[in-house]
């Protein structure tokens, strides 16, 4: 008999626990309840759940604080719930490393579908052969969510690792903000694409690499981002000269989905 995956529900409303608990159990999951932020941390440390459903506004400790504390030691999937629809809350939630974001009121079926989708994505990453990218002093291991610079591990959130891995896997290719959101979060995102800008800014700050490292994340103004890797100092020199010219995206730079026949 297989062990049931555990879902930690963190919300101060009992009806949320009752409703989601029924739907999750019907899909073969085991639900764990926490009704305030402090209890959420206690239950997380005690049970080590497979996924956390986390309300933004909770007594004693906010969902943001709980998310931040969990992310210090774990890359467990987190889906955030909130009654607020302001984009700043969405940006903050994604910035802290949440994997998904659902605004109340919501359908319990939708939440369960998101739970299954996020767990499926994490499961695929764990069972796939190790994918390690090397660019000079930078090493990215997507399976372990491990990014190292000069051999030292960097404190990137899971979403920051996924964005960096996506860009670095296609050096020279331009990804629009919408495309990054769609690929990394695994569903069509309707909201402010500034979330991507926030993530990229934090990635750059954490990398803090020297100018001669042989790689960089470039902004394609009005479009999105691309990862540039340089084979030798001459490539870097050529790039510095190109920086003086207006940068215009070319059709072949874009990563687009081809229609299936």
Q: Check residue 9 and give its pLDDT.
A: 93
Closest listed residue to residue 216, CA positions, set 256, 224, 225, 181: 225
Q: Give the CA dihedral 224, 84, 88, 100, nearest 10 degrees.
A: -40
Interacting residues of 111 by C-beta distance below 8 A, sequence separation 6+:
20, 23, 53, 79, 81, 102
pLDDT in tens, 74-120: 878 888 887 765 555 555 556 666 777 788 888 888 888 888 888 88
- Please state, rounded to an integer, the average pLDDT across all residues of the chain: 77
- In this model, does residue 189 exceed pLDDT 80? no
Listed residue (144, 149, 158, 167) closest to 206, CA to CA: 149
Which tokens is 98 given?
């949440």
Find where tokens 């994490």 sit: 122
Q: How far apart are CA 15 and CA 1, in angstroms?
A: 30
Is residue 160 within 8 A of residue 202, CB to CB? The reply is yes
Which structural domains are found in the chain, ordered by start?
6-127 (3.40.50.2300), 132-253 (1.10.10.10)
Confidence band of 211 (pLDDT split at 50, 70, 90): low
**Strand 224-229 to 175-176 pairing:** antiparallel
Task: Return the pLDDT at 118.
Answer: 82
Q: Are 75 and 49 spatial neighbours (Cβ–Cβ below 8 Å)?
A: no
- What tokens appear for 39 in the block? 């209890």
Beta bridge partners of 31: 7
Whether residue 167 has pLDDT greater than 80: yes
Q: Compute the distance between CA of residue 147 and CA of residue 17 in angstroms, rounded to an integer.
A: 36
- pLDDT the model gives residue 22: 92
The rounded distance, in Å, linking the Cα atoms of 254 and 176 is 8
- Interval 121-154: pLDDT, tens: 777 655 555 578 888 888 888 777 788 888 888 8
């Amino acid at each position: 008999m297989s062990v049931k995956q555990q879902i930690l529900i963190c919300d101060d409303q009992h009806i949320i626990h009752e409703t989601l608990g029924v739907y999750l159990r019907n899909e073969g999951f085991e639900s764990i309840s926490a009704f305030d932020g402090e209890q959420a941390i206690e239950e997380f440390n005690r049970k080590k759940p497979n996924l956390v459903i986390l309300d933004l506004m909770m007594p004693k400790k906010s969902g943001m604080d709980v998310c931040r504390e969990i992310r210090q030691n774990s890359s467990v999937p987190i889906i955030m719930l909130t009654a607020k629809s302001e984009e700043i809350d969405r940006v903050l939630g994604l910035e802290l490393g949440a994997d998904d974001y659902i605004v109340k009121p919501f359908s319990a079926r939708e939440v369960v579908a998101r739970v299954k989708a996020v767990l499926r994505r994490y499961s695929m990453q764990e069972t796939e052969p190790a994918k390690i990218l090397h660019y000079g002093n930078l090493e990215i291991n997507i399976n372990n969510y491990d990014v190292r610079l000069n051999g030292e591990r960097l404190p990137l959130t899971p979403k920051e690792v996924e964005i960096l891995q996506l860009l670095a896997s296609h050096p020279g290719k331009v990804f629009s903000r919408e495309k990054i959101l769609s690929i990394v979060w695994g569903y069509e995102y309707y909201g402010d694409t500034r979330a991507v800008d926030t993530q990229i800014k934090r990635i750059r700050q954490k990398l803090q690499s020297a100018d001669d490292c042989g790689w960089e994340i470039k902004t394609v103004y009005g479009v999105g981002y691309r990862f540039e890797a340089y084979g030798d100092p001459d490539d870097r020199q050529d790039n510095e000269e190109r920086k003086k010219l207006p940068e215009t995206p070319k059709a072949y730079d874009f990563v687009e989905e081809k229609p299936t026949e």
